[in-house]
Amino acid sequence: MKNFYNLIAFFIAVISFAQTQTVTYSISPTAFNEDESITITINGSSINEATWGVANNALYLWAWSYDSNDANSVDCPTNGAWTASSETNRLTYNSGNDTYTMTLVPKTFYNRTGLGRIGFLLKTKTGNGQSQDKYAEVGRFQFTTTSPKNGSTSFVSPGGSYPISYGTSIPSNFELKANGTTVYTATNVTSMFRAYPVTADSQMEVTATSVADGSVLKSNFTLTVTPTVQTAAIPAYMGTKQGINYDPSDPTKVGLSLYAPNKNFVHVIGSFNNWTVSSNYVMKRDTNDSNLFWIEITGLTPQQIYTFQYRTNDAIKVADPYSTMVLSPDDDPSIPAGTYPGLPTYPAGQQYDVSVIQTAKPAYNWNITNFQKPAKQNLVVYEVLVRDFTAAQNWQGMIDKIPYIKGLNVNAIELMPVMEFDGNNSWGYNPSFHMALDKAYGTPEKFKEFIDKCHQNGIAVILDVALNHATGRSPLERLWSTSTDGSYGGVAANNPYFNQTATHAYSVFYDFNHSKPETRYYVNRVLEQWIKEYKVDGFRWDLTKGFTQNCTASDEGCTGSYQQDRVDVLKLYSDYQWSYDPTSYIIFEHLGGDQEEKEWANYKVAEGKGVMMWD
């Protein structure tokens, strides 16, 4: 018998996603003050306009600026909306040399004085395509050569030296310091060079002082000896669990574990070591798994919040992929204090997402610990986008709406994805950290309160989860990407989680390879987190058609037909989910053939289980 259950949904959505391209550009002059005219030139040959569906060469700048401390980011007032760029920011297309240009005076264009840095990206009018972020420093007295770059870390073989080369736009007096001690000077020159011998970790600083007016430029970087990685057994309290592990018997330490095949060594940098690459924070390799790196961070203050990243030998800095909370330099500043009181501040001077750790964190006191879920055949589901459903756009607003929902005789709320997604204004189908609650809607404690109160009112809570894919912010993509500078790029051939090319016809962002044990482990951990930590009652699995390896991105017929590997892996994932809660709801958004859906609908139905179809 085919076991389908009718789900009444009040919100159905279709999503389009932006496609990112890497473009090349130049700024003339290369050094400029905020009141001087500059021309930004984009190389047209570096853009595939057809991929973005661009007509009439209509491309736009999305721009922002920083103050003299390279902080306090403010959007350009003529940006318009992301989905409707202002015509003021449209670039001029030059067919003779296939370039896009815009000439502007920074303080006028950005409507701001005291500029220290400007940023911009190229985009389509509607935002369905964009380039990577670009930056330029403001000020005529500038470094023209920086090697190593400010904020960088370079590794040197034991007994070796590292070439340090800096230049300035006008004559300067140079000073080079290592760990606070002057090791080299040069006067009234426009460049300096020094082959510095590295015998230990060295915090370096180059200072250039303008001969003309005494203006000062500084650059700080780290030179360190390439580490020898120790092999040791991972501590018992960590086991083989990847990610952040708290020792229940010692709140002054935390164990970190990173699965990182094809990496030679990994450092941990964070607020506990002033974000420096240090030989004291080199991760060990596990005795039983050489791809598993681990370290214990000790001397922590219980309940104090710390932040960290992993830094691999190829200069990639990422948050932990299993983070339950991350801080974002781009998203967090616009989260209202009323929505997330006491939101930790993103660490100054860092890039990319950072993980949050807190030992001895107080546990939430649940009022309902044994919620009896409504029978599947009796479900009346209200699908909700938190952002649009309440004026407050947060969990408190959802709590205030519970009486209204209950009054509709609804007995289940399905939340559109609330896992950490890119930006704050999204339907949530662009996840980057599947185990982290997105902060745009509020705190974990407030989310638990919402679930608790739903349960008190006989209402189940179902999460929409997009485990078909992840965005380029995901550490699982960035650790093995085609980027050459540790930022963002496509999937590299050695990525253990993602397909380089999607194996189904409905791909968005980066496509998980669900045949890989690494991906299956990740999915298992995601399910465990939301069921155990938040007591959610089930999942609506988004785009389950994508869980096959048998098709191509252009073959919709193959994608829609019966695929044994997809049946097998989704049954496996169902077993994972039921292992944490045997009564957990499983709903597939498959919209496929009868044969495949019957297998899931009847799967373990004799045990009172079975998979529901979202259609």
- State the CATH number of the domain containing residue 152: 2.60.40.2470
Domain membership flag for residue 9: no
Domain membership flag for residue 485: yes
* CA–CA distances in Å: residue 421 to residues 13, 353, 428, 506: 17, 12, 6, 19
Return mean pLDDT, the chain: 93
Q: 593 and 451 in one domain?
A: yes
Domain membership flag for residue 272: yes
Domain membership flag for residue 104: yes
Nearest-angstrom CA–CA distance, 396 and 390: 9
Report the percentage of the chain scoring pLDDT > 70.
97
Q: 584 and 443 in one domain?
A: yes
Q: 158 and 94 in one domain?
A: no
Contact yes or no for 359/254 (Cβ under 8 A): yes
Q: 171 and 151 in one domain?
A: yes
| pLDDT tens per residue across span 168-190 | 988 999 999 999 999 999 999 99
pLDDT at 140: 78
Indicate if the pLDDT at residue 16 is higher than 50: no
Region 604-614: what's the mean pLDDT? 94
Residue 6's pLDDT band (boundaries 50, 70, 90)? very low
pLDDT at 540: 98
Q: 192 and 173 in one domain?
A: yes
pLDDT at 13: 33
Nearest-angstrom CA–CA distance, 330 and 335: 10
Nearest-angstrom CA–CA distance, 7 and 379: 6
The whole domain housing 585 covers 376-408+426-460+467-512+525-564+572-613
Domain membership flag for residue 2: no
| pLDDT tens per residue across span 526-562 | 999 999 999 999 999 999 999 999 999 999 999 999 9
Given 225, 248, 263, the domain boundary residue is 225
Q: 559 and 444 in one domain?
A: yes
pLDDT at 9: 39
Given 117, 137, 157, the domain boundary residue is 137
Decide: helix, strand or coil at residue 584: coil
| pLDDT tens per residue across span 121-165 | 999 999 988 998 899 988 878 888 899 999 888 999 988 999 999
Query: Does 13 or 540 have the greater pLDDT score?
Result: 540
Nearest-angstrom CA–CA distance, 280 and 34: 43
| pLDDT tens per residue across span 211-239 | 988 989 999 999 999 999 999 999 999 99
pLDDT at 19: 67
Q: 432 and 549 in one domain?
A: yes
> Pseudo-torsion of CA 382, 388, 392, 393, nearest 10°?
90
Domain membership flag for residue 366: no
Domain membership flag for residue 537: yes
Name, in order, each residue with C-beta under 8 angstroms of 135's C-beta and a sequence gap of 6 or more.
117, 118, 119
Give, for 533, the enclosing helix (H) or strand (E). helix 517-534
Nearest-angstrom CA–CA distance, 351 and 544: 34
Domain membership flag for residue 439: yes
Place of tokens 């973005």: 52
Q: 264 and 169 in one domain?
A: no
- Please give the structure tokens belonging to residue 507: 């791909």
Indicate if the pLDDT at residue 488 is higher than 50: yes
Q: 494 and 451 in one domain?
A: yes
Nearest-angstrom CA–CA distance, 59 and 125: 7
Q: 608 and 533 in one domain?
A: yes
Region 480-494: what's the mean pLDDT? 89
Q: 244 and 205 in one domain?
A: no
Residue 31's pLDDT band (boundaries 50, 70, 90)? confident
- State the CATH number of the domain containing residue 87: 2.60.40
Given 173, 196, 225, the domain boundary residue is 225
Q: 441 and 396 in one domain?
A: yes
- State the CATH number of the domain containing residue 596: 3.20.20.80
- State the CATH number of the domain containing residue 258: 2.60.40.10
**C-alpha 114: how far from chain center:** 31
Decide: helix, strand or coil at residue 99: strand
Nearest-angstrom CA–CA distance, 354 and 568: 35
Q: Kindly report the number of other CB atoms within 10 A of residue 266's CB atom.
A: 25
pLDDT at 485: 77
Overall number of domains in the chain? 4
